[in-house]
Chains A and B, each alone.
Chain A
Amino acid sequence: MKQQIENLQKKAKEEILSSTTLEKLDEARVKYLGKKGELTLVLRKMGELSPEERPIIGSLVNKVRDELENLISNRLEELRKEELNNKLEKEKIDITLPGIKLKRGSKHPVNRIIEELEDLFVSMGYDVVSGPELETDEYCFERLNLPKGHPARDMQDSFYITTEYLLRTQTSAVQARVMMENEEKTPIRVICPGKTYRRDDDATHSHQFGQIEGLLIDKNISLADLKGTLEVFVKKMLGQNSKLRFRPSYFPFTEPSYEVDVSCFKCGGKGCNLCKQTGWIEILGSGMVHPNVLKMNGYDPEIYSGFAFGTGLDRLAMFKYGITDIRLLYTNDVRFLNQFDRKDEENEIKY
């Protein structure tokens, strides 16, 4: 009897483990453990055994039954997994096909530069202000120490719509507005980015272009303050290794006036075609606010001093993104615009 049980156990084990489908496994379960199953039948024959043998065989049968039940449930688990896997395998997709093209928009490179500059100067306590693009001769020139007939007006050939109104040639026009509108004549710290217009159109000039103007008026402001501020500005925009060179120059609304060159970021100052072999690139105009400008706009030059600076936004964008032709900024080819759809690399500001 014992032998018979052990044979049964061996046979059942093989059958369970070799069943490859849920149906086969169930057949095996019924065959051995079902009501009429072989092991069940053995149990039924227990009555024929001697009282001594009965407990021994009984416990053996129970052990075998437990073992087989265990095997069946394990095998069942395995087969179910397999079945699910087979089903999933049929759902296999080509993961190399492209994802959905969620359309990504982009900001115009010049506006990216404006936002970057706004963030920088706002962090230094400046307010961003704006003024009209259709400006009066008074604010564009006269209040900036450029009376009619002044030879420096030649630098800025203008688009007039009447003898008094013109498209502003410089964001400096906003300087006078900010000073005039501040009735308490308190200190001023502003930048003004915007569009400007001059009668000038060639490969390097566009009749419409972006400028940003900075104006700071307070007590005891010196050229050293201007220099320090512009160093932060240029390093943020064109790289921490940039060096600045101040060259005396002339603007009617500042005195002293300086043009600012930055060491060529392409060749590092060795000389290349971008910097015309000089190692320097002219980037900014700046200076200490002319006392006449302060006076004309209601500030006492004996109490207040200040600095102002201005630069071309289009050129900054061209330098930063390696754009070689200014016209690309204004033709707005979608293939061009699409390239400005990612974040800028962070450029850590070091004060």
Chain B
Amino acid sequence: MKLSTNFVKDYVDIDVDVKTLAEDMTRVGNEYDSAGKLINATKLIVGEVKECTMHPDSDHLHVCKVDIGNQILNIVCGAPNVRKGLKVIVAQVGAELPEIKIKKGNIRGVESEGMLCSIAELGLENKFLKEADKNGIHELPQAAEVGEDPIKILELDDEVIDFDLTANRGDLLSILGMAYEIGAIYDKPVKTVEMSYKENDTNINDIFKLDIQTENCTIFLAKKVNNVKIKESPTFIKNRLIASGIRPINNVVDISNYVMLEFGQPLHFYDADTLNGMLAVRMAKEGEKLTTLDNIERTLGEDDIVISDGKRAIGLAGVMGGLDTEIQPSTKNIVIEAAIFNPVKIRYTSKKILRSEASNRFEKGIDSNRTYMAIQRACHLLEKYADAEIVGGLAKYDTTDRTDKKIDITFDNINEILGIDVPQKDVLDVFRRLGFNSNVNGNTITVEVPKRRLDISIKEDLIEEVGRIYGVDNIIGKLPVLPVKPGSYDKTTRSIRNKMVDLGLNETLSYILVNEKEAKEFTNDNIEILKLLDPMTEERNTLRYSVLPSLYKIYEYNIAHNVKDVSIFEIGKGFGKKEDEYIEENKIAVLMSGLYYTEIGNRKQVNFYVIKGVVEELLDYLGYAGRYSLVVKEEIPKEMHPYQSAQISLNNNIIGIIGKVHPAKAKEDVFVFEINLDKLLSKKVGGMKYKEISKYPEIKKDLAILVDKNKTSQEIQTTIKKLGGSLLNNIEIFDVYTGKNIDADKKSMAYSLTFAAKDKTLTDDEVNPIMEKIITGLQKQLGAELRK
């Protein structure tokens, strides 16, 4: 809402500069985006062109002698309409205009001491300019005196605050509402509005009918005026519309906008001779067509409210009028509509079609007292500025309650919520300044809240008013006095994050919205992916199910920026739908590529076993040691290497995947894993308990065998473990070798076995037979061959 301070000063006497007013309004809850002069230009003065000759070195420039009172300036001007005798706006040397700073200059050999200005150069938007002003300098009236301030003569000496109002304060979308608010701040009364006019002997109700068919219209008033003279508006009306951001058209249209600005009640003017002697309000029929005044044919639906003349739809209620019944330069007789429509319906329709000054006000709600005032004020102005003859009577449909609300509140209520003791007289003073009547009875105050304050309906709203006007700065902060109790947070997630950071990974934060193709990547789970109804872009129209597509995108970003060593993780959510249930699961995803660590002469490149180590480190840390393994039970997702990938299984449940990204997708070696944290953490782990360390020395034995290439390390270890019995404490693999001296279909595996007993020192005599048993067993069961 752009507030013209000249406009509001019609209704409240204030004498503060625009910045102070804006700041003071902010302190009571009304933020602003900008505050300043309507015309932001300095050193302007009225001048008279005394001489005007062609520039000796140009075919379009003129050299002018311009009288500004105390001196004659030499100014070069390029405007086609400059001529001797013209009264002009002169920007003197040193003047600052919105786009340009005026300096003494030399234009093609002729000295120029200033600039003759057009209105556009003063900063008015193009839409506010008249045709003549678009093509040349502004021609001031001859009555303008040399040396005066041209902005004053143009009556553009206004100051404007552009407010960014909160959604509850529909009442401030009007000059009067602003006057009440400003009046409350500075303790000034609001003046009355001139609304008188004469009526002729006819009664509208004899010649015109209303037919309101929907409860989505709560009040509908109509007045008829005859014989209007359509012409240009008086300057003050035009300039106040311009300051408020509305383009002046003609006196009649301008008056409807002027009154809307004053009261916050949008009006609609119909050319009475295009109507059928009536106005009806109803819901549109599905598929009904209407050409709005912007000459676009709209297709309507059952949720749109339309105005009709009994035969056809002639307007979209509260949003935009129809083309056929619009005011024309030739219009003589007018029907004025002042109505209120269901804000929710207006919001629905205007979101589809157009957010306008009118729809914005209907959406926020309007006091129906204003409906009556606005229609009277319009008649007053039409009589005064368009020579209108006002037809008697008022066509009226009104279901609204126009009485003030009464709210009971106690002084204690106020102090308990604000946390301070506001003196009783100050509380009552706030209500008085706001224009609310109040009656005190003991501790209870009965406050009569004028209908215009639609935002106030319960006592908490009144408490806010007291806080607002009395001043929140008067409240001293304290900490609540509450029983001491320990707070809690999700320690597991934080432990996981700490662990991953310890392992050298960078945590990322990625978007959960991906494109549809990405949402299906890195998983074969039977999941319905979720798409947005109204996405901003196709690139982000789907909720991710796996976090890996997000991480892979980050990897690609880094590679594109020549960052090749990427070891990242993210704890985030994956979404989907399964058997009609929405799922939202916590996941941890890791992506590693490039170098993992470096020292001189040793650069550790990430490979499968590095990322597998990260998985093991994480799961062991969380207490799952010995309960998980890598398996290939399900199909590997097509984005992953078919022979370097696996599922992560915990107690025979698949909880995640691990592996290399398919070389067809990633040029470099990229490894990933993802674990469903909800599935993982649902498996309980026991507490951490100390296990006794054997007092007796251990015996270590090394064992190297040749086995078939396809035998897995896990098979061999399980076999050794079974054969080793209870004295075999630990098995560690320390070498895998293929190549020279080994058959192509074989590999050499070397293990270090540790034997120990809890109650005695073992001897070789006890261990050697076990080793024999292991070797024979391996030979028999796995076809292994002992390497000497």
Contacts and interface: CB of A to CB of B under 8 A. Distances in A.
Interface string B497-509: 1001111111111
Tell me the interface secondary structure of chain A in the complex. mixed
B530 A224 contact: no
A134 B568 contact: no
A84 interface: no
B535 interface: yes
Given A124-B487, A248-B468, A256-B464, A148 B344 contact: yes
A329 interface: yes
B467 interface: yes
A259 B164 CA distance: 13
Nearest to A162: B533
A103 to B, nearest CB: 3
Contact of A134 (B167, B348, B582, B597): B582
Contacts of A127: 487-489
A97 interface: yes
A218 B479 CA distance: 13
Contacts of B480: 216, 218, 221, 225, 228-229
B683 interface: no
A105 B504 contact: yes
B167 A330 contact: no
Contacts of A107: 497, 501, 507
B110 interface: no
A154 B508 CA distance: 31
A338 B558 CA distance: 13
Nearest to B582: A134
Interface residues of A, number: 92
A161 B502 contact: no
A255 B534 contact: no
Q: Name the residue among B472, B509, B600 with the largest chain A CB count within 10 angstroms.
A: B509
Contacts of B418: 222-224
B543 A329 contact: no
A335 B485 CA distance: 42
B533 to A, nearest CB: 5
Contacts, number: 251
Contacts of B513: 159, 197, 207-208
Interface string B412-450: 000011111000000000000000000000000000000
Contacts of A208: 511-513
Contacts of B573: 133, 195
A258 B472 contact: yes
B506 A337 contact: yes
B613 interface: no
A230 interface: yes
Interface string A152-169: 101100011110010100
Interface residues of B, number: 88
Nearest to A165: B582
Contacts of B489: 118, 122, 127-128
A321 B419 CA distance: 35
A223 B488 CA distance: 25
A212 to B, nearest CB: 12
Contacts of B477: 224-231, 244
Given A122-B489, A128-B490, A331-B557, A337 B534 contact: no
Interface string B453-494: 001001011011001100011011111101011111110001
B63 interface: no
A161 B416 contact: no
Which of B480, B508, B568 has the largest number of chain A CB atoms within 10 A? B480
A241 interface: no
Nearest to B344: A149
B169 interface: yes
Interface in B146-182: 166-169
Interface stretch (A3-11, A45-53, A62-70, A108-116): A108-116
B27 interface: yes
Interface in A101-150: 101-108, 110-111, 115, 118, 121-128, 130, 132-134, 148-150
B196 to A, nearest CB: 35
A123 B479 contact: no
B561 interface: yes
A233 to B, nearest CB: 11
Contacts of B487: 121-128, 189
B536 A199 contact: yes
A226 to B, nearest CB: 8
A132 B582 CA distance: 11
A257 B467 CA distance: 10
A330 B509 contact: yes
Contacts of A148: 344
B506 A338 contact: yes
Nearest to B468: A248
A316 interface: no
A259 B166 CA distance: 11
A238 B486 CA distance: 25
Interface in B4-35: 26-29, 31
B509 A247 contact: no
A261 B597 CA distance: 45
Interface string A271-304: 0000000000000000010110000000000000
Given A125-B487, A224-B476, A231-B477, A337 B532 contact: no
A152 B363 CA distance: 10
A333 B563 contact: yes
Given A111-B497, A134-B584, A151-B363, A256 B417 contact: yes
B63 to A, nearest CB: 42
B679 interface: no
A223 B419 contact: yes
B475 A149 contact: no
Nearest to A335: B563
B373 to A, nearest CB: 23
B618 to A, nearest CB: 13
Interface in A180-231: 187, 189, 195, 197, 199, 201, 207-208, 210, 216, 218, 220-231
Contact of A106 (B490, B507, B582, B584): B507
Interface string B35-73: 000000000000000000000000000000000000000
Given A155-B167, A246-B472, A332-B508, A225 B479 contact: yes
Nearest to B478: A228
Given A102-B597, A248-B464, A329 B479 contact: no
Nearest to B576: A134
A329 B494 contact: no
Contacts of A171: none
Contacts of B582: 134, 165
B566 A248 contact: no
A95 interface: no
Contact of A98 (B416, B510, B584, B600): B600
Contacts of A291: 458, 460
A282 B647 CA distance: 48
B138 interface: no
Nearest to A290: B460
Interface in B330-377: 343-344, 347-348, 363-364
24 contacts: A100-B597, A103-B596, A105-B504, A111-B507, A125-B487, A134-B575, A134-B584, A155-B167, A160-B533, A161-B532, A167-B512, A207-B513, A208-B512, A222-B416, A223-B418, A223-B467, A225-B479, A227-B478, A229-B479, A250-B29, A255-B460, A256-B467, A259-B31, A330-B510
Interface of A: 97-108, 110-111, 115, 118, 121-128, 130, 132-134, 148-152, 154-155, 159-162, 165, 167, 187, 189, 195, 197, 199, 201, 207-208, 210, 216, 218, 220-232, 244-250, 252, 255-259, 288, 290-291, 305, 329-335, 337-338, 351
Of all A-B residue pairs in the complex, the 4 with the closest CB atoms, nearest first, are A224-B419, A222-B419, A103-B504, A149-B344
Given A224-B476, A229-B477, 19 more contacts: A100-B598, A105-B506, A107-B497, A122-B488, A151-B167, A151-B363, A167-B512, A167-B543, A222-B416, A224-B418, A225-B419, A227-B475, A247-B27, A250-B169, A256-B460, A290-B460, A330-B511, A331-B554, A335-B563
